[in-house]
Amino acid sequence: MEPNLSVVSEPGGDLLIDRVSVLTTRGWLHDSRVQLSRGKIVAIGADADSRCKQQMDGEGGFLVPGIIDLHGDAFERHITPRTGTLFPLELALAANDASLVANGITTFFYSITDGFEPGPRSRATVRDILRTLEALGPDFGCQARVHIRHEKVNTDDHEELLDWIEQGRVHLLSLNDHLPRLDDPVAKERYLSGLRRRVSMEESETEGFLERLQDLRALGEQQIRELAHAAHRSGVSLASHDDHGPDDVTLNCSLGTVIAEFPMDAFTARLSQEAGIQVLMGAPNLVRGGSHVGAISVRDAIAENLVSILCSDYHYPSLFHAPFIIAELGLLPFEEAWKMVSEHPAKAAGLGDCKGQVAPGYDADLVLMKDLSGLPLAIKATIVSGVPVFRR
């Protein structure tokens, strides 16, 4: 049997976090307290037992639900920090885990690209990362889950991926199509620019490489339907990626997609919402003030009420910082903005009955902040399953 990645460590005993303002689904409870027991929240406010042997003084700080990051691939930079370099996965993923908890992320979906390229985004690398995550998972501070970003033209070893889904080794599946069509020079050059950063390949090889892959599109479309069926049977949430226009949304509806990652324009985002699909966008776009690939501005999308979920994408600190910017810009109250990094992603990933809220019966995944400055330096403690895994 494969190790259970949802287990971080032995759940903690009783712990009382006192003298804090607590963010609940209905708003702040000021000068309050929260009682934890065996990895769960058991009581809030007057119901909490002040006689707990273990206590943490919140010192007037702010206690919020831990961040749930459904889409993050910054761990790749720990593995391959420079083109042509490759570091041991154990070292890279351990360093990544430390980065996560330092930024208030308590549940992280490792967004592993199951791609058609050689090197960091190949199936061989996916296998190695999966094995390493399962081996190191019990020692991580952050709860590790697996998000497979399957490229539609990666048609090799199809049965292997189906088996992983059915064995419970995959917790989120997104269906991607990053292969540029040869008659789109802008998309082609954008893709090749990224390829050069990831893979050492002679320029003379790239044209033939892209040409060979075009012929796999039809088989890939057939396979993604089989993958979607397997995901539904196994209770794995299904996501789309970089949708553009009604045809993509129609396809997503036929596949049973529940999350639309990074729709390219407001029209597509709204179509997705109207179809009951949750829209996910990147926090770095929000923090920087725009997309680095020319897609819709997340600030504009939130202003138009088009975004349900934010993710770290390629920069973990941005996800912590994003709700503060949303509130500062007057787009949403902070209490609602924080739901975009906690309650909403939990529900979309099928975790809404146990994560994403500070409420009795929910997992004790929490972030304690000394103030509401919005900087990660304000984080006093990150708590996962009742255990403080990061303290400042």
> 358 pLDDT exceeds 70?
yes
Q: Which residues are bridge partners to 310 per DSSP?
A: 281
Q: Which two tokens stand for residue 193?
A: 């620019």
Confidence bin at 198 (pLDDT 50/70/90)? low
- d(C-alpha 376, C-alpha 363), whole Å: 22
> 8 pLDDT exceeds 50?
no
- d(C-alpha 83, C-alpha 347), whole Å: 37
Confidence bin at 11 (pLDDT 50/70/90)? low
Contact by Cβ (8 Å): 90, 136: yes
Altogether, the residues listed in the chain come to a count of 392
Q: What is the pLDDT of residue 2?
A: 37
Query: Looking at the chain, which residues constitute the CATH 3.20.20.140 domain(s)?
Result: 68-351
Stretch 26-55: mean pLDDT, rounded?
95
Q: What is the pLDDT of residue 336?
A: 98
The pLDDT tens digits of the residues spanning 299-316 come to: 999 999 999 999 999 999
Confidence bin at 196 (pLDDT 50/70/90)? low
The pLDDT tens digits of the residues spanning 209-242 come to: 777 888 899 999 999 999 999 999 999 999 999 9
Q: Cite the DSSP H helix spans in the chain.
A: 75-79, 89-102, 123-136, 158-166, 185-198, 203-214, 217-234, 246-255, 266-274, 283-288, 298-303, 316-328, 334-339, 343-348
Quick one: what percent of the chain has pLDDT higher than 90? 80
Q: Which two tokens stand for residue 212?
A: 């060979």
Residues 6+ apart with CB under 8 A from 49: 14, 16, 35, 43
Query: Looking at the chain, which residues constitute the CATH 2.30.40.10 domain(s)?
Result: 1-66+356-392
Confidence bin at 9 (pLDDT 50/70/90)? very low
Higher pLDDT, 72 or 208: 72
Highest average pLDDT, of 11-15, 121-125, 126-130, comes from 126-130
The pLDDT tens digits of the residues spanning 159-194 come to: 999 999 999 999 999 999 988 777 777 777 776 777
Q: What is the CATH number of domain 1-66+356-392?
A: 2.30.40.10
Mean per-residue pLDDT over the chain, rounded:
92
Give the pTM: 0.92
Q: Which residues are bridge partners to 38 per DSSP?
A: none
Q: Which residues are bridge partners to 390 per DSSP?
A: 382
- C-alpha dihedral (199, 203, 207, 212), degrees to nearest 10: -40
CATH of 68-351, one of 3.75.10.10, 3.30.470.10, 3.20.20.140, 3.40.50.720: 3.20.20.140
**Look-up: residue for tokens 């802008």?**
186
